[in-house]
Chains A and B, each alone.
Chain A
Amino acid sequence: MDRRSFLKTAAVAATSALAAPRLSLAADSKTLRFIPQANLANLDPIWTTQYVVRNGALLIWDMLYGVDDKLQPQPQMCEGHEASADFKTWTFKLRPELKFHDGEPVLAKDAIASILRWMARDATMGGPIKRQMEALEVVDDRTFRFRLNKPYPKMLFALGKSSTPSLFIMPERIAATDPFKQISDYVGSGPMRFNKDEWVPGAKAIFEKFGAYAPRPEKANWLSGGKRINFDRIEWQIVPDVGTAAAALQNGEVDWWETPSSDLVPLLKKNGKIAVDIADPLGNIGSFRINHLHPPFNDVRARKAIQIALSQEDYMGAVVGDDESLWKTLPGFFTPDTPLYTETGGEALKGKRDYELAKRLLAESGYKNEPVVLLVATDLGIVKSQCDVTADLLKRIGVNVDYQALDWGTVGQRRAKKDLPSQGGWNIFHTWHAGADCVNPAPYIALDASGDTAWFGWPKSDLVQEKIAAWYAAPDLTAEKEAVAELNAAAMDHVVYVPTGFFKQYQAWRRNISGVVKAPFPVFWDVVKA
Chain B
Amino acid sequence: MLSYLVRRIVATIPVVLLVALFVFSLLYIAPGDPAAIIAGDQATPADVDRIRASLGLDRPFLVRFFDWFWHILHGDLGTSIFTNLPVTHMIAQRIEPTLSLMTLTLILSLGCAIPMGVVAAWKHGTWIDSAVMMTAVLGFSTPVFVIGYVLAYVFALRLDWLPVQGFTPISQGLWPFLRNLILPSIALGLVYMALIARITRATMLDVLAQDYVRTAKAKGVGQRGVLFVHALKNAAVPIVTIVGIGFAALIGGAVVTESVFAIPGLGRLTVDAILRRDYPVIQGVVLLFSFIYVLVNLGVDLLYTLFDPRIRY
Chain A positions near chain B (C-beta within 8 angstroms): 18, 21-25, 39, 41-42, 47-51, 121, 123, 163-164, 178, 180-182, 184, 200-204, 237-241, 243-245, 247-248, 250-251, 253, 379, 406-410, 412-416, 431, 433, 437, 443, 445-446, 453, 455-456
Decide if B272 is an interface residue (CB 8 Å cutoff): yes
B163 touches A251 (CB 8 A): yes
- Residues from chain A with Cβ under 8 Å of B41 in the complex: 49, 431, 433
- Residues from chain B with Cβ under 8 Å of A23 in the complex: 160-163, 179
B36 touches A200 (CB 8 A): no
- Residues from chain B with Cβ under 8 Å of A49 in the complex: 39-43
A400 → chain B closest CB, angstroms: 23
Per the bound structure, the CA–CA distance linking A445 and B34 in Å amounts to 21
A455 touches B165 (CB 8 A): no
- Residues from chain A with Cβ under 8 Å of B259 in the complex: 240-241
Residue in B48, B51, B179, B264 whose CB lies within 8 Å of A200 = B264
Interface size of B in residues (CB-CB distance below 8 Å)? 55
B31 touches A406 (CB 8 A): yes
- Residues from chain A with Cβ under 8 Å of B40 in the complex: 48-51, 164
A444 → chain B closest CB, angstroms: 9
- Residues B1-29 near A (CB distance < 8 A): none
Decide if B46 is an interface residue (CB 8 Å cutoff): yes
Per the bound structure, the CA–CA distance linking A240 and B145 in Å amounts to 13
A251 touches B31 (CB 8 A): no
Per the bound structure, the CA–CA distance linking A25 and B165 in Å amounts to 10
A123 touches B47 (CB 8 A): yes
- Residues B183-206 near A (CB distance < 8 A): none
Residue in A244, A250, A379, A433 whose CB lies within 8 Å of B275 = A379
- The secondary-structure label for the interface of chain B is helix
B32 touches A253 (CB 8 A): no
Closest to A454 in B: B44
Give me 8 A-to-B residue pairs in the complex whose CB atoms sit less than 8 angstroms apart, sorted by A's number.
Answer: A23-B179, A180-B53, A248-B164, A253-B166, A379-B275, A410-B33, A412-B32, A453-B44
Per the bound structure, the CA–CA distance linking A50 and B36 in Å amounts to 11
Decide if B54 is an interface residue (CB 8 Å cutoff): yes
Residue in A240, A251, A416 whose CB lies within 8 Å of B268 = A240
Q: Which of A50, A201, A240 has most B Cβ within 10 Å?
A: A201
Per the bound structure, the CA–CA distance linking A421 and B123 in Å amounts to 65
A282 → chain B closest CB, angstroms: 15
Per the bound structure, the CA–CA distance linking A201 and B189 in Å amounts to 27
B79 → chain A closest CB, angstroms: 10
Per the bound structure, the CA–CA distance linking A24 and B165 in Å amounts to 10
Number of A-B contacts (CB under 8 A): 152
Decide if B262 is an interface residue (CB 8 Å cutoff): yes
Q: Given A178-B54, A184-B84, check contact A200 B34 (CB 8 Å).
A: no
- Residues from chain B with Cβ under 8 Å of A250 in the complex: 157
B177 → chain A closest CB, angstroms: 13
A201 touches B83 (CB 8 A): yes
- Residues from chain A with Cβ under 8 Å of B269 in the complex: 202
- Residues from chain A with Cβ under 8 Å of B156 in the complex: 24, 247, 251
Per the bound structure, the CA–CA distance linking A240 and B277 in Å amounts to 17
Q: Given A39-B272, A412-B37, check contact A201 B163 (CB 8 Å).
A: no
Closest to A238 in B: B262
A370 → chain B closest CB, angstroms: 22
Decide if B303 is an interface residue (CB 8 Å cutoff): no
Per the bound structure, the CA–CA distance linking A379 and B32 in Å amounts to 13
- Residues from chain B with Cβ under 8 Å of A202 in the complex: 264, 268-269, 272
Decide if B136 is an interface residue (CB 8 Å cutoff): no
Closest to B93 in A: A200
Known: A184-B84, A237-B262. 16 other contacts (CB 8 A): A24-B156, A25-B166, A48-B38, A121-B47, A201-B80, A203-B262, A240-B268, A241-B260, A247-B157, A248-B163, A251-B156, A406-B31, A410-B32, A413-B31, A433-B41, A456-B45
Decide if B212 is an interface residue (CB 8 Å cutoff): no
B164 touches A244 (CB 8 A): yes
B262 touches A248 (CB 8 A): yes
- Residues from chain B with Cβ under 8 Å of A21 in the complex: 161
A184 → chain B closest CB, angstroms: 5
B133 → chain A closest CB, angstroms: 25
- Residues from chain B with Cβ under 8 Å of A201 in the complex: 80, 82-83, 85, 90
Closest to A203 in B: B264
A253 touches B272 (CB 8 A): no
Per the bound structure, the CA–CA distance linking A181 and B82 in Å amounts to 11
Q: Given A42-B82, A49-B43, A237-B262, check contact A410 B166 (CB 8 Å).
A: no
A197 → chain B closest CB, angstroms: 11
- Residues from chain B with Cβ under 8 Å of A416 in the complex: 33, 36, 45, 48
